[in-house]
Amino acid sequence: MRLAKYLAHAGIASRRASEVLIAEGRVSVDGEKVLDPARDVDSRNKILFDGERVGSGPAIRVVYALNKPSGVVSTAADTHGRPTVVEMVRSGAASSRRLYPVGRLDVDSTGLILLTDDGDLAHRLTHPSFEVPKRYIARVSGGAVSERALQALRDGIFLDDGKTAPAKARQIAAGHLELTIHEGRKRQVRRMCEAVGHPVRELKRVGFGSLDLGAIPEGKSRRLSLPEVEALLAPTDQDRVA
C-alpha cells in the first residue's frame, strides 16, 4: 500500500493532506524519514508521524490545546461570521480533522480550551460525574474580596439553576481570584462572582485537569502528546475539587 493511503486509512489525514505531511518530512518508515508518498508500506513497517507510531487499526484520535483570544466563539461554526476556535487550529494535520471544542469558554473569556475529534474523550472531560477540574484567573470589580465571600464560593453558591458544587477559591491579589470548579454551567464563574458582589471584568482559563496553559501564545495551539491525553483522563484525587 502507498504510504499516503496507509496514513489516510490510519486516520491521520485525507490522502491528499497526507501527501503534504510526508513532503514536510513529518513521516518516517523504519527509522528513515520518507518524502515519497508513493513508498510501498504495510503493517510490518514501523511508521511514525510526528514521532508517534501509526498503526493500521483504529484511527488515531487527536487533542489540541488552544489559547483562545477574546472575541472568538467556542463552536465549530458561527452564524454571525465570528471567528471560531476550530478555525484557529485548522492547519497541517488538523486541517482534515472534524474537531470539536471540549466544553466552552464565553466569547469574551480567554485561555485554555481543548479540541478533539474523539466524542468519548470529550464526554469524559466535560461530564460533571468525572469531576475534571478547570482553573480560572478572574479580575473582578469591587476591590479586595472578603474572606466571607471567598468562603461562600468554597461552600457553593445558590444560582437560578441550583447550588453550585464546592469550588477552590483564593485571592492572589486584591480583586484577582483563582477559582477551580469541576462543573460546566453556562457562564458559571461569572455568575458565582457576581452573586458574592464582585462581577468579573476579565476571565482566563489557565488549567484543565492535569494540563496547564503554559507558554502557548494567545491565538496559538499545539497538539497534546499521548501521555498528556492519558493524564487528562486520569486525574488524581488531589486534582479534584474537595
CATH number at residue 95: 3.30.70.580
- Helix crossing, 188-195 with 147-155: angle to 10°? 140
**Whether residue 176 sits in one domain with residue 198:** yes
Q: Can you name the residues that pair with 40 across neighbouring β-strands? A: 2
**Whether residue 141 sits in one domain with residue 27:** no
pLDDT value, residue 55: 67
**Whether residue 115 sits in one domain with residue 94:** yes
Host domain of residue 82: 63-128+210-239
pLDDT tens digits, one per residue of 130-170: 889 999 999 999 999 999 999 999 999 999 999 999 999 99
pLDDT value, residue 130: 82
pLDDT value, residue 6: 85
Name residues whose C-beta falls within 8 Å of residue 121's C-beta, 6 or more positions apart in sequence: 61, 63, 102, 229, 233
**Whether residue 203 sits in one domain with residue 150:** yes
The cell for 231 is 493524564
**Whether residue 40 sits in one domain with residue 141:** no
Longest dimension (CA), the chain: 68
The cell for 34 is 520518507
- Between CA 217 and CA 203 the distance in angstroms is 16
**Whether residue 97 sits in one domain with residue 201:** no
- Between CA 164 and CA 151 the distance in angstroms is 13
**Whether residue 232 sits in one domain with residue 217:** yes
Q: What is the torsion angle, in degrees rounded to the nearest 10, for the CA atoms of residue 61, residue 81, residue 204 and residue 101?
A: -20
**Whether residue 221 sits in one domain with residue 118:** yes
| Cα–Cα distance list, 107 to 8, 72, 204, 235 (Å) | 34, 5, 11, 27
Out of 30, 106, 108, 117, the active site residue is: 106
| Cα–Cα distance list, 75 to 41, 81, 88, 107, 128 (Å) | 38, 12, 11, 10, 20
Tell me, rounded to whole angstroms, the distance of Cα 201 from its chain centroid: 23
**Whether residue 146 sits in one domain with residue 32:** no
**Whether residue 82 sits in one domain with residue 42:** no
Nearest to 179 by CA among 152, 214, 161, 159: 152
Q: Can you name the residues that pair with 158 across neighbouring β-strands? A: 163
pLDDT value, residue 92: 46
Spell out, as residue ranges, where the chain has pLDDT lower than 50.
58, 92-93, 235-242
Q: How many residues does the chain have?
A: 242
- In the residue annotation, 106 being an active-site residue is answered as yes
| Cα–Cα distance list, 210 to 50, 106, 192, 236 (Å) | 23, 22, 23, 8
**Whether residue 17 sits in one domain with residue 49:** yes
**Whether residue 203 sits in one domain with residue 140:** yes
Q: Can you name the residues that pair with 169 across neighbouring β-strands? A: 179
Query: Considering its fold, how many domains does the chain have in total?
Result: 3
> 224 and 63 in contact (C-beta within 8 Å)?
yes
CATH code of the domain containing 192: 3.30.70.1560
